[in-house]
Amino acid sequence: MADESEPDESQAGKPAQADKPPQADQPPRNDEQKVLRDTDDEARRLARTLVRGARYMALAVLDPETGFPSVSRALTGTDVDGVPVILVSGLSGHTKGLVADPRCSLLAGEPGKGDPLAHPRITVQCLAESVARDTPEHARIRRRFLDRHPKAALYADFGDFRFVRITPQNASLNGGFGRAYLLSGDDLVIREPGITPDWLDLSENLVNMTDQAEKFAAHLHTHNGRNWRFAGVDRAGIDLIAGDFLLRHEFEALATSPQAVLDYVFGKAKIR
C-alpha cells in the first residue's frame, strides 16, 4: 500500500538515497531460501542424457566486435568421451567469436506440451577447441558426427568447415519446477573413454545392425514408429535415431568392453 503521509519538506531537492546492499554477514531473509538441490546420480544422468541426446543446441558466444552475447543454433554430436562436438564454417559469426574467445555456452532440452519451463533443460559453460584435419581425432569425430547427421556429409569436407570440441567446465541443470542443480564439467565427461580400435569398430558395426536397433528400441518402449538405427556408442551409452528423432540411452555403469555392449544390446533386444 502506498505511503500517503505528507512529504518531509526538509528533504526537498535532495537526491534519493539508494537502499544499502545487505551485508555479507546478515542472515538470509525468508524469501532467500535455498533453491539448489544436492546433485545426485539421478541429476547427473538426466544432465548427460540431455546433452548427449541433443541433435542440436543453442550456442552462445561473445561477439568479438561488440562484446555482446550472440546466440545461434548448431548441430551437435559427441566425441567418445562425451564432449559435445559442433561443425562450423569459418565464415559464420559464431566461429569468429569462438576463435577470439573460446568461452561459450550450450543450451539443451526441448519443451513438450504445456508450460515450456516445466520441462528439463541444461546450460553448459564450455571451452571450445578446434580439431585439426588429417588427424586420427578428426577422422573419429567426423565418422561419429556423420553417423548422427548423414546430410552433413554434403559440406563437412568443405575447406572452410571445421569440427570443434566444446568441453564442459560447469553446468546448470533445471529438471523442472523446484529441481535446480549445479554440475561440474567432470559430471558430463567420460574420463576413461577407451579410444582403441575395437571401440571405434563397435560403432561402425552397430550402424549396420538395423534389425537389432528396431528390437532394442522396442524394448525401450519408444513411440516414434519404425526404421530405428544405431547412430553412435561410447562407454556410457548408446544413441538411436528414427527420422529426426534421437534417443540417448545411458547405461547404468560404464561398459567394460565392446563385447559387453553387444551382450547388453542383444540381451535387451532378446535376440538369440
Which CATH number does the domain housing residue 244 bear? 3.20.180.10
- pLDDT, position 50: 98
- The residue among 191, 226, 259 that closes a domain is 191
- pLDDT, position 54: 97
Q: Is residue 261 part of a domain?
A: yes
Q: Is residue 17 part of a domain?
A: no
172 and 49 within one domain: yes
60 and 161 within one domain: yes
Report the distance separating Cα 123 and Cα 72, nearest Å. 14
Q: Is residue 204 part of a domain?
A: yes
Total number of domains in the chain? 2
- The continuous run of DSSP H or E covering 58 comes out as strand 56-62
Cell of 226: 519404425
pLDDT tens, the chain, 272 aa long: 444 444 444 444 444 444 444 444 444 444 434 678 999 999 999 999 999 999 999 999 999 999 999 999 999 999 999 999 999 999 999 999 999 999 999 999 988 888 888 899 999 999 999 999 999 999 999 999 999 999 999 999 999 999 999 999 999 999 888 889 999 999 999 988 878 889 888 988 898 898 899 999 988 877 666 789 999 999 999 999 998 899 999 999 999 999 999 999 988 866 54
222 and 186 within one domain: no
200 and 144 within one domain: no
163 and 63 within one domain: yes
Q: Is 222 helix (H, G, I), strand (E, B) or coil?
A: coil
- The residue among 163, 191, 219 that closes a domain is 191
98 and 128 within one domain: yes
268 and 207 within one domain: yes
- The residue among 191, 224, 247 that closes a domain is 191
186 and 197 within one domain: no
225 and 180 within one domain: no
Q: Is residue 127 part of a domain?
A: yes
Q: Is residue 13 part of a domain?
A: no
Report the distance separating Cα 48 and Cα 199, nearest Å. 20
CB 187 within 8 A of CB 47: yes
Report the distance separating Cα 234 and Cα 240, nearest Å. 12
**Which residue range forms the structural domain that includes residue 235?**
192-272
Q: Is residue 66 part of a domain?
A: yes
153 and 61 within one domain: yes
Helices 136-148 and 197-207 meet at what angle, rounded to 10? 20
How many residues can be counted in the chain? 272
pTM of the full structure: 0.83
Q: Is residue 21 part of a domain?
A: no
- pLDDT, position 1: 44
- pLDDT, position 223: 67
Lookup result for grid cell 545426485: 40
Phi-psi region of 109 (alpha: psi -120 to 50; beta: other; left: phi over 0): left
CATH code of the domain containing 125: 2.30.110.10
The letter for the amino acid at 43 is A
Backbone angles phi, psi at 42, to 5 degrees: -65, -40
126 and 238 within one domain: no
Report the distance separating Cα 79 and Cα 256, nearest Å. 18
177 and 45 within one domain: yes
